[in-house]
Amino acid sequence: MNRPSRTRPIFASVAILAAMVLAGCSDGAPLHAGDIIRPPGGVGDFEVLVVADGLQHPWGIAFLPGGDLLVTERPGRLRVIRDGRLLPEAVSGVPEVVARGQGGLLDVTLHPNFAENRLVYLSYSKDAGGGQTTTAVARGVLDDLTLTDVEEVIETAAVGSPGRHYGSRLNFDREGYLYITVGDRGDMDRAQDRSDHVGTTLRLHDDGRVPDDNPFVGEEGVLPEIFTWGNRNAQGMAVHPETGQIWQNEHGPRGGDEVNLILPGRNYGWPAITHGVDYSGRQITPDTAREGMEQPILHWTPSIAVSGMDFYTGDAFPQWQGNLFVGALRHQHIRRLTLDGDRITDQEVLLADLNTRIREVATGPDGYLYLLTDQGAGQVLRIQPAAAFGEAPR
């Protein structure tokens, strides 16, 4: 069913909250692991802890059962944070990546049965020959600081010039199916071609096999891995904690960032419909809606450059239960979205004064909210209750 966008005003308290949270770093000094950004006089209900610093463009994060954190660095390293310390040695055995432009080592996620099989999944940009690259996913068995038995799950057909729109978010649903976002590679018209993986969401078994109930299995001329198409560059993906449905956010061009509910076999319209224009200001299409194409649940114009996203499911902030948190690269903040069913009813901007690109947002098993900052000297940040002053990450 097509859905109209439902954009609501941001809470009036946004600027006040951002200023309160960041008052503790008003001198502009660089932040390092262990630093805490606190509201003045203990006012406010949360603070921000720097869990780790010195990461080079961190992109994805995963939480291991024993308390370690796995973090990808776009140049091609998989790092471990253990007992609050970034280990100097990177994980070995990671697939070779092409780290150019937006490409490199991108997302990381764990197999649903990781405690038994130790399988880690990585998305990355891969050399496709002839000076071109594509989006690929591999998995391997994690043994402390080594990946063993590494095998490719899929090398997509999204071959193009290096540098742009790899998508590459990974997530498993409740049934154990693996979802992969693939960007349009900067070649927008290919996103409407279902004989191509460009501009799609893929759905696979954990070993890369195609599920028999994928929407286009057996349809001539359509790649059977495709679950949705017409997606520009989805870089956030999360499973709704109550319904189990897949939600995504998607980079628009100049305007037209989207939040979408991902449904099997649906066309999300790019570039035939969009609420944005080209970066040059040129009109991409006169249409914002067409028959047979999905409308976003929410869209932003101007673009905030959406990235990672997650539903908050922890106990540390009961007032945030079920809220959707979205990172913003260009506008450099996170958005807290309040939902009523599949409608977004309100938005709130948090941490705007950090002045840093937020690449990923994830709820940790400790009930706190973790962020990755997209910088050459990137950080892992943790939003925790203000009562947790001085508490070490665990």
Name the residues annotated as catalytic: 165
What CA–CA distance (Å, rounded) separates 339 from 8? 11
Spell out a b/e string for 154-173, using b for 16 or more CB atoms within 10 Å of the CB, else e.
Answer: bbbbbbbebebbbbbbbbbe
Where do runs of H (alpha helix) occur along 215-309? none
Q: What element of type H or E holds 135?
A: strand 132-143
CA 250 from chain center: how many Å?
10
Contact indicator for 138, 204 with CB cutoff of 8 Å? no
Q: How many residues does the chain have?
A: 394
Phi, psi of 384 (to 5 degrees): -135, 160
Q: Which of 185, 300, 162 is nearest to 233 (CA)?
A: 185
Contact indicator for 331, 354 with CB cutoff of 8 Å? no
Token pair 């790019």: residue: 270
Q: How far is CA 138 from CA 54, 94, 179, 189, 289, in A?
A: 26, 9, 13, 27, 37
CA 234 from chain center: how many Å?
8
Contact indicator for 64, 113 with CB cutoff of 8 Å? no
Which are the contacts of 361, defined by CB distance < 8 A and separation ≥ 6? 236, 308, 309, 310, 325, 326, 327, 334, 369, 370, 371
Phi, psi of 292 (to 5 degrees): 85, 5
Strand order in the sheet with 246-250: 234-239, 246-250, 257-262, 298-300
